[in-house]
Chains A and B, each alone.
Chain A
Amino acid sequence: MSRLPAAELKSFARVAGHLLVDPPVRAAGSRGQRGRPGVGLEYFDHRYYEPGDELRHIDWRQSARRGAAVVRRYQVETSSEWILCLDASSSMCGGDGAKWRLASACATALAYAFLDMGHRVGMLIFSDAVVAACPLGRGVAHYPRLLRTLAEHVPARHGARSRLGSCIDRLAGRPCAFVLGDFLTADQMRRDLAALQARCLQLQVLRIASTGDATLPIAGHVTLVDRETGERVDGIVDASLERAARAADAAMERDLRGFCRAAGVPFSACAATRDWRSALVAHLRATHRP
């Protein structure tokens, strides 16, 4: 994997810092505050008790003073853990390897941006199982380790299936996860996404699609071989079949987008021919909640 220009990475990190951090909470008539309520140690503010709040957060002194139950809220920790999950199945070899190149470039840029923001970043490269992993780390020194993990693995051209569920066991705590892949699988991928979301504080999905996935180099009677499963289908290939394949690809993306919207998972899709910077910025803008 080629290294990305440092200047572009820094530029992207600044953009990502603005788009990844939630906007500050501003109380009416008060000065703006940075941060947001969540799990943390530093006091944030008080509010009246609502069902579901933990009882241990009730501030009894304030409750007695106000005559109603009041809970203490804490400011969420500014740094978190991000796990970058890269699909390294054989289908990522399609499109002359453009999908894998874009995925690894995006992972590199995200890793740089998250590290620049002070997050701890880890990486899981998966196919049937996790084939390469880089544990969580922080700081400038961790970035080369992430790059080495990326560089040491190349997707197998045949026989490597895509199973996102293999990453679930590697997620300790409640990290944030960013999944990059082509999602050219059936319902299994959605089930894995649901399971992954349950184990993550935040989950983002970037689908990398290639028009070459629905294009066949020859026409006539051919035997189609699935790169991942090895399944073979004999059939007649012509222009109408390619049109149908493109339609099936679009339908698959539509289904995945619908699933993510329903699950509250930020999702975007980009073409494999796109450059990593525009692909990521478009994703962050599309998934940013002002």
Chain B
Amino acid sequence: MISVAAPLWLLGLAVGPLLWWLHRARGHGRSVAVASILLFRDVPAPRSGGPRAPVTDPAWRRRVASVVLLTLALAGLTLYRPARELIVWVDDGPSMATREAGGTRLAAGFAALRRALPHDPATHIELRSLAEPGLRYEANQLAPLVRSREARVPASGAISTQAAQWLLTDGANAALEDWARGGAIERVIRVGTETENVGVVGLAVRTRLSDSARLDGTVTIFNAGRRPARRDLVLHLGREPVLRQSLELSAGQTQLLGFTLSRPPQDSAALEAHLSPSDALPEDDHLALDARALQRRRIRIGGGCPEAVRSAVAVEADLELAASAGTADIAVSCDADDGQLSEPAAQSLPTLVVAGRRDSRDAVTDAAWSAAASAVLSETLLPRMLVLRGAGRNPPPDAEPLLRSGAGTLAWRPADARRRVETRVDLGAPALAAAPEYPLLVGELLELAIGEPLIARVAASDRDPRTITIAPNAAASLGASSAADGVLPAAQRARRGTPLAPPLVAIAAVLILWDLAVSVRSTTRLARAERGA
């Protein structure tokens, strides 16, 4: 396959006929003296009678060939050999689900791809997903799935330099466009003309700190189109609409709406945001938030636990006591006097194991939290801490220390139970429980067991605004305007082709030198013949 980088230069080929005509005229009038005309009896004579037949100087072939070769070299002729291996990178990001006249962009792209693919059975064709690295498609796949993840430029190691690289995209992903323009892609198959889309890009709620029975939330709407849009937003909690609002968004505008909800019951459905009317990409008109993320955590406190621990748990707004161990989300287990746990801690539950034996205690002097915990201990709390001593109170060697002091490790996470925190601090000591920071200490230990904060917890669901942008970027639009059937040659072909300019120029140079040599020789011989003896 041969491509032309600068087709306008091909107009120079029109010089060929002109040169031929000039050489036809040039032959007249040159006479050569010969020793005897008898030797040239076979010379083809012009037509007798009519006008003299135009005869062309044979040099016109060399000169026209030189001009043609130089013109082709200037036009940037490049030879592309058919690759034995072809890799088609498929942009299967969310924007490829945009509904066009002929179905989704991805389906239309595959249809265009099937038309464009070479029918050479010797060519190995591989279709790779850009949204899910490692995923392969079949060329005859009719309705491939659109991925929820945004398509990304593949790693350079995944791009074979031996294979031809094609790209199937809608031009909405600027990174892919930049990649294609970088020269790695030999051909771009671009589909899609829709540009308008509005979507819900964020939904978040949190417990109001002043009133744990209410939730504050926000919903974010983004107009990814190029024109202003009007949408109606409805927010449902389960089946109950909790918010209705009409929105008017200018092009590229992001609008953030706040709302307040009563804390839903434990078995309530999801919180969902809907936009209407629907547009070319309906998938982003809806966003849901799991309502369970909004519920209080249920904590089960073992029977042998100090009352101070119960009091400290009660002040946490996001915690409520569980009626039974089966419904608990968190467990607090305290040592019994016989050394057994007051309630067996479930392996799957985040569990705080508190020491309960109080007969032998040491004062804590210089405690320090590990890097995994926040520093909530104040100097006022440290002097009140007592550390239990005795057999079974020491952490195993492979445990992860969480709180250290001069007396050794005070709190730790066992190596075989990553959601359990054990401590040998005497949480039932009256001096410690009377301290105002005591609930913070208990809360910190519970957060270490849960692995996330207890207060200011936010439940959120969002999507990247780039994933709802379906309009091709400016450069892609320029290319798409010249599209015939959706199959476009790349704006810039890859540099894999062999430029033909150097050999063409070399051949033209040889022809020019040859012509010069012939001209010089003819002139010399003619002068010598004229000079005679």
Residues of A within 8 A of B (CB): 91-97, 99-101, 154-155, 157-158, 182, 184-186, 210, 212-229, 231-238, 241, 244-245, 248-249, 252
Beyond the given A101-B533, A220-B58, A235-B44, please list 14 additional residue pairs across the A-B interface where CB-CB is below 8 A: A94-B532, A158-B33, A186-B38, A218-B525, A219-B59, A220-B23, A220-B27, A220-B55, A221-B57, A226-B34, A227-B34, A233-B40, A234-B46, A241-B42
Of B23, B33, B44, B55, most A-chain CB atoms within 10 Å: B33
Which A residues touch B526, using CB under 8 A? Answer: 217-218
**Closest chain A CB from B181 CB (angstroms):** 52
Provide the residues of chain A in CB contact with B46, threshold 8 Å: 234-235
The size of the chain B interface, using a CB distance under 8 A, is 39
Interface: B119 (CB within 8 A):
no
- Which partner residue on chain B sits nearest A234 by CB separation? B46
Q: List chain B residues, Cβ under 8 A from A233.
A: 37, 40, 43, 45
Q: Nearest 9 pairs between A and B by C-beta? A: A97-B533, A221-B27, A217-B525, A221-B55, A235-B43, A220-B57, A184-B36, A93-B532, A94-B35
Selected from A93, A96, A158, A222, the residue in CB contact (under 8 A) with B30 is: A222
- A226 and B533 CA atoms in complex are apart in Å by 16
Q: Are A248 and B42 in contact (CB under 8 A)?
A: yes
Q: Is B32 interfacial (CB 8 A cutoff)?
A: yes
| B327 within 8 A of partner (CB) | no
Asked if A226 and B36 sit within 8 Å, CB to CB, the answer is yes
Residues in B neighbouring A221, C-beta threshold 8 A: 27-28, 30, 55-57
Residues of B within 8 A of A248 (CB): 38-42
Measured in the bound complex, the distance between the Cα atoms of B56 and A185 in whole Å is 31
Are A249 and B31 in contact, with the CB atoms below 8 A? no
Q: Mark B105-124, 1 if CB is under 8 A from A, else 0.
A: 00000000000000000000
Chain A residues lying within 8 Å of B37, measured Cβ to Cβ, are 224-226, 229, 231, 233
Contact B36 A237 (CB under 8 A): no
CA distance A210 to B533 in the complex (A): 13
Contact of B32 among A95, A97, A224 (CB under 8 A): A224
> Which residues of chain B are near A249, meaning CB under 8 Å?
39
Report yes or no: A219 in contact with B39, Cβ–Cβ below 8 A. no
Whether A220 lies near B59 (C-beta < 8 A) is yes
Q: Quick check: A213 and B35 within 8 Å, CB to CB?
A: yes
Chain B residues near A (Cβ < 8 Å): 23, 26-46, 52, 55-59, 521-526, 528-529, 531-533
**How far apart are the CA atoms of A154 and B525 in the complex, in Å?**
21
| Chain B residues whose CB sits within 8 angstroms of the CB of A101 once the complex forms | 533
Contact B35 A184 (CB under 8 A): yes
Query: In this complex, what residue of B is CB-closest to A219?
Result: B58
Instruction: Give the distance in Å from the alpha carbon of A233 to the alpha carbon of B55 in the complex.
Output: 14
Least CB distance from A98 to B in Å reads: 8
CA distance A214 to B42 in the complex (A): 12
Instruction: With A184-B39, A234-B45, A244-B42 as known contacts, state yes or no: A224 contacts B57, CB within 8 Å.
Output: no
User: Nearest B residue to A95 by beta-carbon distance?
Assistant: B35
In the docked arrangement, what's the CA distance between A232 and B31, Å?
9
Q: Is the CB of A228 within 8 A of B32?
A: no
Enumerate chain A residues within 8 angstroms of B27, measured Cβ to Cβ.
220-222
Would A216 and B34 count as touching, CB distance under 8 A?
Answer: yes
Determine how close the nearest CB of chain A comes to the CB of B272; give it in whole angstroms.
89
Would A225 and B35 count as touching, CB distance under 8 A?
Answer: no
A223 touching B522 by the CB < 8 A rule? no
Q: How far, in whole Å, are A95 and B529 apart by their CA atoms in the complex? A: 7
Q: Min CB distance, A43 to chain B, in Å?
A: 51
Chain B residues, CB < 8 A from A252: 38-39
CA distance A38 to B227 in the complex (A): 129
Q: Given that A100-B533, A217-B522, A241-B40 are contacting pairs, would A223 and B30 also be in contact in the complex, using a CB cutoff of 8 Å?
A: yes
Contact of B45 among A94, A96, A155, A235 (CB under 8 A): A235
A119 to chain B, nearest CB (A): 29
With both chains docked as a complex, state the minimum distance between the C-beta of B119 and any C-beta of chain A, in angstroms.
Answer: 48
Partner of A223, one of B32, B36, B39, B533: B32
> Which of A218, A223, A227 is most buried by chain B, counting CB atoms within 10 A of its CB?
A218
Chain A residues whose C-beta falls within 8 Å of the C-beta of B522 in the assembled complex? 217-219
Residue of B nearest to A209 (CB): B35
Q: Indicate the member of A223, A236, A248 with the most B CB atoms within 10 Å.
A: A236
Q: Report which residue of B23, B43, B528 has the largest number of chain A beta carbons within 10 angstroms of its beta carbon.
A: B43
Name the residue among A94, A185, A222, A226 with the largest chain B CB count within 10 angstroms: A222
CA distance A12 to B470 in the complex (A): 105
Complex contact A235–B40 (CB within 8 A)? yes
Whether B31 pairs with A222 at a CB distance below 8 angstroms is yes
| Residues of A close to B30: CB separation below 8 A | 218, 220-223
